[in-house]
Amino acid sequence: RVVCNAKVPRLSDQKAWLDGIDIFIFDCDGVIWRGDSVIDGVPAVLDKLRAAGKRCFFVTNNSTKSRAGYKGKFDSLGLDVPAEEIFSSSFSAAAYLEQTKFKETGKKVYIIGEKGISEELDLIGVPWFGAEQDKDKVVNLGSGGKVEHDPDVGAVVVGFDRNVNYYKIQYAQLCINENPGCKFIATNLDKVTHLTDAQEWAGNGSMVGAIKGCTGQEPIVVGKPSPLMIEYLEEKYKIPDRKRICMVGDRLDTDILFGRDNGLQTCLTLSGVTKEDKLLSDDNKIAPDSYVSSIVDFFP
Ligand code: PLP
Ligand code: CA
């Protein structure tokens, strides 16, 4: 669905706007923190929203930490957020496997990714291998060289992996192509990622792209903009009305698309990757309902 970029307004009449929202879904990097620093004024905004009776959830496409890992990050930034309000794409991958009753198949998961994914799979009792275990493996490309793969792998989960290598790609390719019914699950498709302030780094789109390229398969995406997380929240918390939820994010093609395509209100914040001129340019086809400099503007 393409929406032409009507002029996106800056958020105004905050009181009326807040009255129309019961639940906020916050993206994390670029909204709550930038790298390892909390964004100025954010703790007070979260306190005020809670004091006004608003429910807050936190959704990140970064799969490198588990929900428990993010709880530690929130704590270290002085933000008191219960683990159940945090939804990382690593958690979403596990939630998807649970929803589809993967455990009952008795199969295993091969992971390209970091410990966020393996920790979440441990919590739901799904056997896995790969990930950091395969970081130093190399493919023997000499004559007769062959990678033997496990026919009991029923899903490959691909998340951001700073130790991705040719062995892992070959292993994933064999599982997906040769094990009947093997699922190809991507935590997220972010093209670039905000590892440091110095530059944009190749995101999980690069790892997923490698596996798409060698299998010809499209992944099941569990992170934003996939509807999985909103469906999960809706079901778990019996949320009656999506129109009273606002998705707040800094990225158009994940956060705002997620909100827009799932019938939520949307607000873009300029405190992360999207600059005002890009948001307002005629080339932008993903328009939020409104935008702010940072979420501090919720309470002018
Ligand atoms: N993936 C990785 C590896 C990241 O480092 C980041 C941001 O730091 C993201 C994804 C995007 O995270 P978010 O959805 O919180 O903006
Ligand atoms: Ca973000």
- pLDDT tens digits, 9-52: 999 999 999 999 999 999 999 999 998 899 999 999 999 999 99
**How far is it, in rounded angstroms, from Cα 113 to Cα 115?**
7
Per-residue pLDDT of the chain (300 residues; tens, 9 = 90+): 445 455 899 999 999 999 999 999 999 999 999 988 999 999 999 999 999 999 999 999 999 999 999 999 999 999 999 999 999 999 999 999 999 999 999 999 999 999 999 999 999 999 999 999 999 999 888 778 889 999 999 999 999 999 999 999 999 999 999 999 999 999 999 999 877 778 889 999 999 999 999 999 999 999 999 999 999 999 999 998 999 999 999 999 999 999 999 999 999 999 999 999 999 999 999 999 999 999 999 999
Name the residue of 117, 194, 248 whose CB sits within 8 Å of the most ligand 1 atoms, as the mutation to test its pocket: 194
Q: How far is the CA of 181 from the centre of ligand 1 (A)?
A: 30
What pLDDT, on the 0 to 100 scale, is given for residue 141? 80
Return the ligand 1 atom nearest residue 254 CA: 14
**How far is it, in rounded angstroms, from Cα 57 to Cα 150?**
38
For ligand 1, say whether the CB of 161 is within 6 Å of any of its atoms. Answer: no
Name the residue of 60, 89, 201 whose CB sits within 8 Å of the most ligand 1 atoms, as the mutation to test its pocket: 60
Cβ distance 129 to 111 under 8 Å? yes
Tens digit of each residue's pLDDT (9 = 90 or more) over 250-261: 999 999 999 999
Ligand that comes closest to the CA of residue 58: 1
Atom 3 of ligand 1: nearest residue by CA position: 62
For ligand 1, say whether the CB of 69 is within 6 Å of any of its atoms. Answer: no
Name the token pair of 290. 């409104």
Atom 1 of ligand 1: nearest residue by CA position: 62
For ligand 1, say whether the CB of 203 is within 6 Å of any of its atoms. Answer: yes
Atom 10 of ligand 1: nearest residue by CA position: 62
Query: Among all chains, which residue has been given the structure tokens 């410990």?
Result: 115
Of 2, 1, 14, nearest to 296 by C-alpha is: 14
For ligand 1, say whether the CB of 274 is within 6 Å of any of its atoms. Answer: no
CA angle 294, 299, 300 (to 5 degrees): 85
Give the distance, in angstroms, between the CA of residue 45 and the centroid of all CA atoms in the same chain: 23
For ligand 1, say whether the CB of 60 is within 6 Å of any of its atoms. Answer: yes
Q: Is 22 a catalytic residue?
A: yes
For ligand 1, say whether the CB of 190 is within 6 Å of any of its atoms. Answer: yes
Indicate left, alpha or beta for 264 from its phi (over 0: left) and psi (-120 to 50: alpha).
Answer: beta
**How far is it, in rounded angstroms, from Cα 226 to Cα 213?**
21
Choosing from 22, 122, 150, 253, the catalytic residue is 22
ipTM above 0.90, yes or no: yes
Give, rounded to a whole angstrom, the gap between the first and last alpha carbons of the chain. Answer: 34
For ligand 1, say whether the CB of 114 is within 6 Å of any of its atoms. Answer: no
Residue type at 90 in one-letter notation: S
